[in-house]
Every structure is written in C-alpha cells, then in structure tokens.
Structure 1
C-alpha cells in the first residue's frame, strides 16, 4: 500500500516526536539497580519489573499530553480486549525481554509501533545496552543507527540460521506440544538454532541479517507491532507459521529473509503439526 505524501508527512511528525523520547526512556533501563521482578497474573512465565511500568508510564504521559485524541496500547496498562481502530494508535512494549533484563543479559529493548487505519506505519526498537536503534517507516526502508539494513536473502532452509523462541513452550500444554514437535522437525534440517528471549530483537536481527529466520507463537500485539514492519522494510517476509497471512492482532509469526525460505519452513512445520495432531489429538488450534 502506497503512502500519500500528506500522510507520510503526518507519520514522520509522529515518528520524530517519539524517537528522542524513546532514547531518553532508555536511560531508565541503563540506570536500573537492584532489579526485582514479580509474576503477572500469577503465572510463572510472565514477569514484570518496576522499570517496565516506569518506562510505559513515561511514554504514555508524553504521548497523551501531545496527542490526547490518539489511542494507546501498552503491555503493562492494557486490561480490555485489544482492538485497533482507524485512529492513530501507539503500541508499546516498555521492556521486551524482561527476563533478560533482570539477569543483565543485554538482549532487551523498548518497542514502539504505530498503526493508522489499522495499518502499521512505523516501528522503533531501541536496545540501550548495546546502543542499537532499529527503525522503519512504511515504504521508507529499515535502519540501524541511521544506516540502511537488509535481510540476508537466504532461500535455502538447510543453510538457514534460525531463531526459535523456545521459552514460549512454558505457556501451557498446547504451546509445549506445538514447540516441541516443531523443534524436533526443524533441528534436524536447518543449519543452526538459537533462542534469544526477545521477540522484538529477534525480528530486528532478521532485518539486519544476523539471522535468516525467526519464529514465535503465542505473543501479543505489542511484541510484533514494531519488529514485523522493520523486517518487511528490510526486504524480509512475515507470515503466520501455518501459512496464513500474518495478523497483528493474533501475532503468531514466522519472519524470514525470503518468501522461498518461509515456504520451506512452513512445509516442515506442517509435517510437525500433523504429527502433533496424531499423537495428542490436537488439530493445531489453540484452545484457551
């Protein structure tokens, strides 16, 4: 979809407003001490710290003061069912990779995405620990610290460096089976597998060519709003792992350097899903 010049100017205004705010918010993470976490919703796989809440609160306050008519979706403040409207909507994950953050593992970031008319229009992912700022505006390319980035163009799954977010297998029995059966099929076929613990950075690493593919199921809109656009603007391909079109509101995703690579990996995973159905009786659909 082309962006008209007037609309592009509007998008750039929002982007240029928030970019320095994200940089400033990064200092909150750099200055963090005595980090303590607690479990959200009494589940042992979802962590939150005071810094998640602080970063989101700071960004929310600045955005709502400047643009009171806009919508805001944040990981730490979202309570109702998530819906996208045609209004400009800010989608924020204050710390993606919270578990990494609590252990001083330098793989976490602040993520800000925006949609207008339900379409992703820009994405920002800032890792202050490595001073890396990934950015993209729809139709304008993807960048790392101001330098244009591109995917690897890898189109052979046997040579692919694959990032698989295996920690999500803890979310429940369905996801445990889904991840384990797919891992069994993938690990024997791809060149190598990693699991980095940050969905946003996982997407950005495909965009800049550090990996060839990244997959995660069971996430939320704030985990994907910035990174999936950055991948696409770097020349990459994003699809639902079942082969369906990617849906931001149901953000299971497979992000790859090429469409050909995505198709090969989807074929492998469909075989895994068939085996899962045969063994467990689950037809591949998540049942809450």
Structure 2
C-alpha cells in the first residue's frame, strides 16, 4: 500500500532546510517591528522565510490549508479542519535572531483529520534537523532519538519561557511557578527562547520537560509529533489531553515527571488560537519600513 504522506514529509524536510538560509540573512533584514506587544517581534526575515515555505508548498501541493502567522492575521483565527493542513512557524525565536542568540528554528507540521501526521524542526544555527512521523519514530538528522529515562524529578532539568505578555499578574504567576519548581528541587530550569527547539530538547533526552502558556499552535505542532515519537508525552498544563489550539502545552519524557511539574504550575488565561484576532504583523512591518 502506498504511503500517502511520504512525499509531503520529504518535501517538508527539504523546504525546512532551504528556509534555514535565514542564518545568512543580510543585516538589512534585521529591522524589527512589533506584533502583540513591544517584545513580540517580527523582522523582514520572518516575512521572507514564510514566503519561501508557503510559496513552495502551494506550488507542490496546491489547495492544502495553511495555518501560521500570515493566515491567522488574515482570518483572525486559526480553524483546524479535517482537510490536509500545514502548520508553519517560519522563524521560531525571532527575538533570539534579532539579538544573535543562537537558537532559531523553522517549524513545519502537517495534519489530516485534525491529527498531526508529521513534524519537522530545523534548528538553524545548530544546523540540526529534527523530524518525526506518526508511528515511525523521531530523528535528529539521521540518528534515532529518545527521551530521557530519568523519572526522578529531583534529578531533572525543566525548560520554560517567560513569553511575550508583560501583564504584571501573568508575569508574577510565571515567576512564582518557576520558583516553585526550582524549590522541588530540580537540577535547573533552562530556556532556549524557541518552543520548537525546547520540545526537541525533550525529545533528544537533554531535558525532562517543557511547558508554556501563551504559545501558538505553530510554535508546538511539529515538536508535539517529535516528542511523542521519541517516547515522550504531550498534554495540557492541567494534565488533560493536549489541545493544539489551547495555547497551553506540557511535554515530558514520562507522565510521572509531567504530573509532578503540573502540580507547581500557576495557570493563567490565554485566548485560544481558534478564537484569537491577531493584528497582521506583516502589514504593520511594511508600514514601519
């Protein structure tokens, strides 16, 4: 029986690497605009890379549905249907890119019937490509990867981020959560500044868990496949089932680690991606140039 998504998977790998040419972006492209807040950035490179990815996918696969920052800004919300759907983050870690902090990723996922079929994350500055297909394992380049086998929270490293929302009450809850986790105690808390890379760190066994509230579906879709195919778990920050549109995600090497971290998370509200109205960042960017 023919593999219906093999061609799409292989093309996603090819186009992710091509999009990774952001490593060689000219200085003129690192002009910044802002999106939802003064710390939520967009650059000309974000625009260029998204055009590369979506243009190539449309040419190859025609009428497939696309979800990402551009489609969200045009429609006001991201609606996941049963149709074959590409979920794309052209530059995950824009603030890192602007400041020269060496963690920037291209993230491409593919869903059918609302189920994620595969995910590809290219960590550009590391020159590492992470990939996973439902039921077929996870890889870094061509090497199979697995989550850590550590089930002792006190021997764990946890990843999280502060996000881009500077609402004082939310920031206090984020800081309080990190303090509570540190005092379990754990070996440490880290953050690369890109959700896609953070999830790949879980998948490769470098850390035991990653969680965040306020991320978008395009930040975590590809990583969710890779973590699960590496033997990990993906769920809501309250321990319930993972909901791609909820803007809340916990992933871990094992349910025991996930459940222990979840006990310390102070949850705060965040608009769902399928209800969210997003001001078009690319139009705002053009106006500021």
Does the pair score TM above 0.5? yes
Alignment partner of 2:230 out of 230, 234, 240: 234
Alignment of 1:181-260 (within 5 A): 181-189=176-184, 190-260=186-256
Partner-residue secondary structure (3-state), 1:78: helix
Partner-residue secondary structure (3-state), 2:83: coil
Q: Which runs of 5+ in 2 are unaligned?
A: 277-289
8 Å CA contact retained: 2:247, 2:270: no
8 Å CA contact retained: 2:214, 2:270: no
Runs of 4+ in structure 1 off by over 3 angstroms are: 284-288
Alignment partner of 2:19 out of 14, 25, 36: 25
**Number of residue equivalences:** 268
Q: Distance in 1 between matches of 2:260 and 2:192?
A: 23
8 Å CA contact retained: 2:39, 2:164: no
* Normalised TM-score (structure 1): 0.88
| Offset of residue 115 of structure 1 | 0.5
Q: Which piece of structure 1 moves more, 247-256 or 21-30?
A: 21-30
Q: Distance in 2 between matches of 1:213 and 1:183?
A: 13
What's the counterpart of residue 37 of structure 1? 32
| Offset of residue 57 of structure 1 | 0.7
**Alpha-carbon displacement from aligned partner over 1:93-128 (angstroms, at most 9, x marks no partner):** 000000111111110110000100000000000022
Find out whether 1:153 has 2:119 as its counterpart: no
What's the counterpart of residue 60 of structure 1? 54
| Offset of residue 174 of structure 1 | 4.5
**Alpha-carbon displacement from aligned partner over 1:148-190 (angstroms, at most 9, x marks no partner):** 000002211111111111x227442443133122122111112
Q: Which runs of 5+ in 1 are unaligned?
A: 274-283
Partner-residue secondary structure (3-state), 2:119: strand
Partner-residue secondary structure (3-state), 1:245: coil
Q: Which piece of structure 1 moves more, 60-69 or 88-97?
A: 60-69
Partner-residue secondary structure (3-state), 1:225: helix
8 Å CA contact retained: 1:52, 1:76: no
Q: Which piece of structure 1 moves more, 184-193 or 201-210?
A: 184-193
Higher relative contact order (CA 8 A, sep 6+): 2
What's the counterpart of residue 283 of structure 2? none
RMSD: 1.8
8 Å CA contact retained: 1:174, 1:286: no
Find out whether 1:74 has 2:68 as its counterpart: yes
What's the counterpart of residue 10 of structure 1? 4
| Offset of residue 286 of structure 1 | 4.3
| Offset of residue 243 of structure 1 | 1.3
Partner-residue secondary structure (3-state), 2:264: helix
| Offset of residue 28 of structure 1 | 3.4
